[in-house]
Amino acid sequence: MGIKTPSRQARPAKTRHHQAFQKDLTSGTLTLLTLGGIMGSGLFMASGLAMRHAGPSALLLFAVGALAMYLEISALAEMSIATPTPGSFLVYTQQVLGPGWTFVSGWIFWFSSVLTMSSEVTAAALFTRLWFPGISLWIWSLAYSIVIVAVNFISVRGFGTIEGIMAGVKTLAVLAFIGAILLAYFHITPHAAVPVNPLHNFTAYGGWLPNGWYGALPAMLLILFSYAGTGVIGLAAAETKNPGRTIRSAIRNTVTLIAVMYLGSIFLILSLVPWTHMSSHISPFILALRATHIPYAGLIMNLVLLFAVLSTMNAALYSNVRVLYGLAHAGHAPRTLGRLNKKGLPTHAIWMSSGLLALTIILAYLLPSKAYAYLVTATGFQAMFIWLMVLLTHLYYRPYLAKHHPEKLTYKLWGFPYTTIFVMVIVVGALLVSPLAKGELYGAIVGFAGIVITWLIWMMAKPYILAHASK
């Protein structure tokens, strides 16, 4: 099956000369940065909602999600290694699909990243409220937002170091969580209490599919959201020392660690906590550790989860501002957003992205009990739209590279185009069934409305943008 590339696609997209980013990211740092972008409240909070919908079958859906994530990030890596650029997939979209798709994809990516930051900082506030229940959610949201914005004004090397430490802490914590539960099952951990049969919860409480496929499949959007954040690997390509070798290594390490940590932790959580006990206010990791009665394990894990979601928020802001930078250089955003300071940082873009976090604080103030559930569904909806755009771009960019720059195709997603289409089918299916899940309709409406509004803005701004692009 081949994809015929339109004639206009052979013309390279126009770019403006601009000050270069620092190339200070190594393979290890990029791996941690990618893990930081992926492993956030989707795993540590939203997974509980997914298990509540799907029951034990959530484990199978998480396995499908892991495969989809691997294929999507590999498609992005293929394009990023061939053409490492600060604008990542938006540059490729501009080249093969045109300015309309680029405008919509870029601004939806930006808005989705803002929602990601919002959901992560709300989750951080929820974790903190476990210790300080008397302090309002919005106060913690404001405090953490200020800290993360400040971190992004550090140099790329300094940012990478801080993010690497935060991502490293949560990676080790999840591995330690898996190890502690396994030791408890083998009766090595003192004072631990675990079920005699770890598979009991998979057959009790209604069995493998307690709510049927009608109840399980709508959870797929929440599960795919837990794997979102892969875009950072493409956006960071221009700031790596050796994109080809660095991205390959980061992909291999990221996929392996994510698969082990996600599937291992979900299996152990389900073995310890009945799916009927899952809550939207407490992390399933905390519930699982409470069930073991390991002293202080829940409190320690809660601290780690706080660092985990702040790490993901940090990575989301990193990706967010670089998308604005790319949009500015493509003529789809004000030029001031494409300027770098002496440290090579897009400070104007950081300020713009940071400003919208105020909406999160307002939502946390108005709807403290529902803020996270609404944000996570809206974020997941738009994050999956970005996956679709990455995959659609890949369908056209591979033939373009094969025709015009075959020497750049040093890394290829296997099974093209069938693997790309396979992930697109999974994503579209998840988007279509997500409104069927209880509590997800409003978030889906917000996510879909954002896409429609962006298209309408493009139609109004199209004459102005195309006129300036031709100059």
**What is the rounded average pLDDT for all residues in the chain?**
79
Instruction: Give CA–CA dist 329/465, Å, rounded.
Output: 12
Residue 8 lies in a domain: no
Domain membership flag for residue 140: yes
Q: Percent of the chain beyond pLDDT 70?
A: 82
Q: Domain for residue 2, yes or no? A: no
What pLDDT shows up at residue 101? 87
Would you say residue 37 has pLDDT above 60?
yes
Residue 279 structure tokens = 């809550």
Here the CATH number for the domain that contains residue 83 is: 1.20.1740.10
> What pLDDT is attached to residue 371?
58
Q: Helix 297-329 crosses helix 156-185 at what angle (to 10 degrees)?
A: 150
The reported pLDDT for the residue numbered 17 is 40
CB 61 within 8 A of CB 216: yes
- Of the two residues 261 and 368, the one the predictor is more confident about is 261
Of the pLDDT bands very low, low, confident and very high (cuts 50, 70, 90), residue 364 is low
For tokens 């829940």, name the residue: 298
Across 247-273, b (16+ Cβ under 10 Å) vs e yields bbbbbebbbebbbebbbbbbbbbbbbb
pLDDT over threshold 50, residue 14: no
Please list the residues that pair with 240 across neighbouring strands.
25
The residues facing 25 across adjacent strands are 240
Report which residue type is found at 308.
A
E strands present in 282-424: none
CB contact at 8 A, 22 and 344: yes
The residue that leads in pLDDT, 120 or 267, is: 267
CB atoms within 10 A of CB 195: 12
Q: What is the pLDDT of residues 62-97, one digit of tens each?
A: 999 999 999 999 998 898 888 877 666 778 888 888
Cα gap 224→305, rounded to integer Å: 19
Q: Residue 92 belongs to what domain range?
A: 21-469
Whether 16 maps to a domain, the answer reads no
Q: Is residue 284 part of a domain?
A: yes
pLDDT of 59 above 90: yes
Mean pLDDT value across residues 256-272: 93
Cβ atoms of 284 and 278 within 8 Å: the answer is yes
Contact predicate 81/397, CB 8 Å: no
Is 162 inside any structural domain? Answer: yes
Overall domain count for the chain: 1
Q: How far is CA 148 from CA 40, 43, 276, 277, 294, in A?
A: 15, 20, 35, 33, 32
Does some domain include residue 12? no
15 lies in some domain? no
CA distance linking residue 38 with residue 17, whole number of Å: 32
The pLDDT score that the predictor gives to residue 259 is 92
E strand residue ranges, 281-377 = none
Residue 395 or residue 462, greater confidence: 395
**Cα dihedral across residues 408, 410, 412, 417: positive or negative:** positive
What pLDDT was estimated at residue 2?
40
Contact 54, 215 (CB under 8 A): yes
234: Cβ–Cβ under 8 A, 6 or more apart, which residues? 76, 77, 79, 80, 88, 89
Select the highest-mean-pLDDT range: 69-73, 431-435, 439-443: 69-73
pLDDT band at residue 366, thresholds of 50, 70 and 90?
low
Least confident of 140-154, 345-359, 421-435: 345-359
Q: Of 163, 162, 118, nearest to 141 (Cα)?
A: 118
Name the percent of the chain lying above pLDDT 90. Answer: 14
